[in-house]
């Protein structure tokens, strides 16, 4: 397994754990309605979010700075990954639109906290999309 492929695999694993952790914290701490009132809840979510982003940055940035670890094929795969990232971002946006419009159709209003959640989820999905794009790239190049 190539070093970049291994990192992408770890990235995918971290991404799923990251999403599950955020969902669990959200459910345990009272959900969307408690988010505005509970500062501890907000800080926990912020910690998880920023911590995950830093973990991803370390995972991929460190390998790109080591010339021996990445060859031309790896670079080509890495270059194609943004396509998957882009698709993942667009599909997650569409999923948010459908879910929110269906859930809040009667009220006609969506809580402001969802803006924060949309932005946060799109960043997470983008990171996971990159990892999936790299893994698919290796599979196609076999």
CA–CA separation, 26 and 6 (whole Å):
30
List the x/- string, 28-57, binding to another protein by CB under 8 A: --------x---------------------
Tell me which of 40, 67, 68, 108 binds another protein, using CB under 8 A: 108
CA–CA separation, 49 and 54 (whole Å):
9
User: With CB under 8 A as the contact rule, which of the stretches 7-15, 18-26, 61-69, 83-91 interacts with another protein?
Assistant: 83-91
CA–CA separation, 53 and 63 (whole Å):
16
Least separation in angstroms between CB 108 and another protein:
6
Phi-psi region of 16 (alpha: psi -120 to 50; beta: other; left: phi over 0): alpha
Q: Is 110 in the site for another protein (CB under 8 A)?
A: yes
CA–CA separation, 88 and 130 (whole Å):
9
Region 122-141 residues binding another protein, contact defined as CB under 8 A:
122-123, 126
């Amino acid at each position: 397994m190539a070093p970049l492929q291994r990192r992408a695999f770890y990235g995918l694993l971290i991404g799923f754990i990251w999403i599950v952790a955020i969902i669990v914290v959200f459910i345990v701490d009272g959900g969307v309605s408690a988010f505005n009132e509970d500062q501890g809840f907000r800080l926990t979510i912020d910690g998880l979010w920023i911590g995950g982003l830093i973990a991803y940055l370390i995972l991929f940035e460190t390998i790109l700075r080591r010339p021996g670890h990445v060859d031309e094929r790896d670079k080509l795969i890495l270059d194609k990954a943004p396509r998957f990232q882009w698709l993942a971002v667009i599909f997650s946006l569409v999923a948010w639109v459908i879910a929110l419009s269906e859930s809040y159709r009667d009220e006609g209003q969506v809580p402001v906290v969802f803006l924060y959640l949309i932005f946060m989820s799109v960043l997470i999905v983008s990171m996971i999309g990159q990892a999936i794009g790299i893994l698919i790239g290796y599979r196609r190049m076999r």
